[in-house]
Amino acid sequence: MSEKWGFDTTAIHAGSAPDPATGARQVPIYQTTAYVFQDAAHAARLFGLREVGYIYSRLTNPTVAALQARVAELEGGAGAVCCSSGHAAQIMALFPLMGPGKNVIASTRLYGGTITQFSQTIKRFGWSCKFVDLDDLDALRAAVDDDTRAIFCESISNPGGYVTDIPAVAKVADQVGLPLIVDNTLATPWLCKPIEMGATLVVHSLTKYMTGNGTVTGGVIVDSGKFDWSASGKFPSLSEPEPAYHGLKFHDTFGALAYTFHGIAIGLRDLGMTMNPQAAHYTLMGIETLGLRMERHVGNAQKVAEWLEADPRVTSVTYAGLASSPWNATARRVYPKGAGALFTFAIKGGYDAAVKLVDNLKLFSHVANLGDSRSLVIHSASTTHSQLTDEQKIAAGAGPDVVRLSIGIEDAADIIADLDQALAASTA
Ligand SMILES: Cc1ncc(COP(=O)(O)O)c(C=O)c1O
């Protein structure tokens, strides 16, 4: 039925039928750890994955399940698994695909925390990452080797707001037989649906626009259900008997839902990066207004970016929605509703002026977050990207004179007035 619905109707209704026990119209917070089995046979069927149901909230919970259904529907996926944060979603997404000695190819333009996670932390699992400029499709092809198991990018990237040509990258992924994982946090399915463009998996930090008001941390992995996990023999956790689930063959048994079932039965069960039902409830409520908010976010971002670009105190603005951006043609083609609401600008006066600007803003909140209804600011080089080398910072668009803005849904005139007074104070 929901296939006929538009985006906003889906955002409100998908996954949330009235509660069968009480008729409650809003999805209740099922604040429970466990679920009473009907009898011993029922318990055995649930544990054997012969019947789908609730066992224990580390794996499944009805509030979280409603959110999974809603996000899967919005992204056009076969299934989704929620988890405790966006970073957890990235590890959970790679977990069934990787193994010691295997590598992922990731874009050079990523959130700084992801660059650290991929360049440092995953080494502890014996995994590695090759960073490639995904605008260079030949470089991407050349980076693929026998041990590569996935390609990873952000649709719109943090902090620069640069955009990825998802259809072009998906085409290469398809040619080399690898799954493409797209972090769609900054675009949200309102601006871009990576699965429709050929992506295999979509991950989100639900912490950002999806919830939309800075109240929770959460993540999700959405599976397109379209990748053939058995074709190449490279994904034995999904295609071969899985020793962590008494030899179950996930792809044979669950078909298009193999990856989703694996994510719950093994990913959440053994890694335990579970989303709590309160967080799921807040996120469900946030998603109800996603379309309205994103429309205002991108409208405001376009106005603010144009105003900044015309200001002599500003050296450059990265917003891909600007005609001057090298990514503008890609943005118009792949993200026709707008280029997101996160971008950076460089200020005359270098590091000192950038830091002073942050200290002088009054309406903007100086926080390590983005995608809030409030406008937010941060100096990435000294904070979110501080673990990176100077070279990585510049590649990620986080140089010393650069300030990152997450444009909120306040009145655009008020946002601009605040920037104006802070620029005056910092460049005087
Ligand atoms: C694009 C992107 N992906 C993933 C994350 C990680 O999300 P979380 O903070 O929910 O772990 C962030 C955090 O800022 C992000 O900006």
| Domains assigned to the chain | 7-286 (3.40.640.10), 290-426 (3.90.1150.10)
Closest atom of ligand 1 to CA, residue 370: 14
The residues pairing with 366 across neighbouring beta strands, listed in sequence order, are: 377
Yes or no: say if 401 and 315 are a contact pair by the CB < 8 Å rule. Answer: yes
What residues are in contact with ligand 1 under a 6 Å CB criterion? 85-87, 111, 113-114, 154, 158, 183, 185-186, 205, 207, 217, 219, 370
CA distances from 144 to 103, 126, 137, 271 (A): 9, 18, 11, 28
pLDDT value of residue 386: 80
Cα separation, 135 vs 154, whole angstroms: 12
126 is written with which tokens?
Answer: 């014996």
Q: Ligand 1 mean position to 369 CA, how many Å? A: 8
* CB-CB contact of 227 with 173 (8 Å): no
203 has a pLDDT exceeding 80: yes
- Please give the angle made by the CA atoms of 36, 69 and 98, to the nearest 5 degrees: 95
Q: For strand 376-378 and strand 219-223, is the pairing parallel, antiparallel, or unpaired?
A: unpaired
- In the chain, how long is the greatest CA-to-CA distance? 76
Does pLDDT of 202 surpass 90? Answer: yes
Name residues whose C-beta falls within 8 Å of residue 133's C-beta, 6 or more positions apart in sequence: 107, 108, 109, 139
pLDDT tens for 279-308 read: 999 999 999 999 999 999 999 999 999 999
- Mean pLDDT, residues 398-407 taken together: 93
DSSP structure class, residue 203: E
Q: Quick one: pLDDT at residue 398?
A: 82
Report the pLDDT value the prediction gives residue 1, as an integer from 0 to 100.
44
Residue found under tokens 């019947």: 51
pLDDT at 194: 98
Residue 121 near residue 129, CB atoms below 8 Å: no
Look at residue 80 and give its three-state secondary structure: strand
Higher pLDDT, 285 or 351: 285
Closest ligand 1 atom, CA of 90?
4
Contact assessment for residue 372 and residue 408, using Cβ atoms and an 8 Å cutoff: yes
* CA atoms of 290 and 284, how far apart (whole Å): 10
Ligand 1 centroid–CA 87 distance in Å is 6
Task: Please identify, by atom number, the ligand 1 atom nearest to the C-alpha of residue 206.
Answer: 10
Phi, psi of 269 (to 5 degrees): -60, -45
Instruction: Out of 208, 370, 376, give the residue to mutate to test ligand 1, the one with the largest number of ligand atoms within 8 Å of its CB.
Output: 208
Question: What pLDDT band is residue 260 in, cutting at 50, 70 and 90?
Answer: very high
Q: Is the pLDDT of residue 209 over 60?
A: yes
More confident residue, 280 or 395: 280
Supply the pLDDT for residue 392.
74
Return the pLDDT at 3.
58
Within a 10 A sphere around the Cβ of 361, how many other Cβ atoms? Answer: 22
Enumerate residues 6+ apart whose C-beta is below 8 A from 59: 264, 265, 268, 269, 274
- Residue pLDDT, tens place only, 120-178: 999 999 999 999 999 999 999 999 999 999 999 999 999 889 999 999 999 999 999 99
How confident is residue 321, by pLDDT bands cut at 50, 70 and 90? very high
**Å from CA of 37 to ligand 1 middle:** 37
Edge-to-edge strand ranges of the sheet holding 148-154: 79-83, 219-223, 201-205, 180-183, 148-154, 103-107, 128-132
Which residue out of 82, 83, 84, 87 has the highest number of ligand 1 atoms within 8 Å of its CB and is therefore the one to mutate? 87
Average pLDDT of 343-358? Answer: 95
User: Is a pLDDT exceeding 70 seen at residue 2?
Assistant: no
Q: What is the mean pLDDT of the chain?
A: 96
pLDDT tens-digit readout, 46-68: 998 899 999 999 999 999 999 99
What integer is the mean pLDDT of 346-375?
96
| Residue 55 burial class via C-beta count within 10 angstroms: exposed 0-12, middle 13-18, buried 19 and up | middle
What's the pLDDT score for residue 4?
A: 83
Name the residue of 92, 158, 342, 383 whose CB sits within 8 Å of the most ligand 1 atoms, as the mutation to test its pocket.
158
Which residues lie closer than 8 Å to 279 by C-beta, 6 or more apart? Answer: 84, 206, 216, 217, 218
> What is the average per-residue pLDDT within 24-30?
97
Tens-place pLDDT, residues 217-239: 999 999 999 999 999 999 999 99
Q: How far is the CA of 139 from the centre of ligand 1 (A)?
A: 26
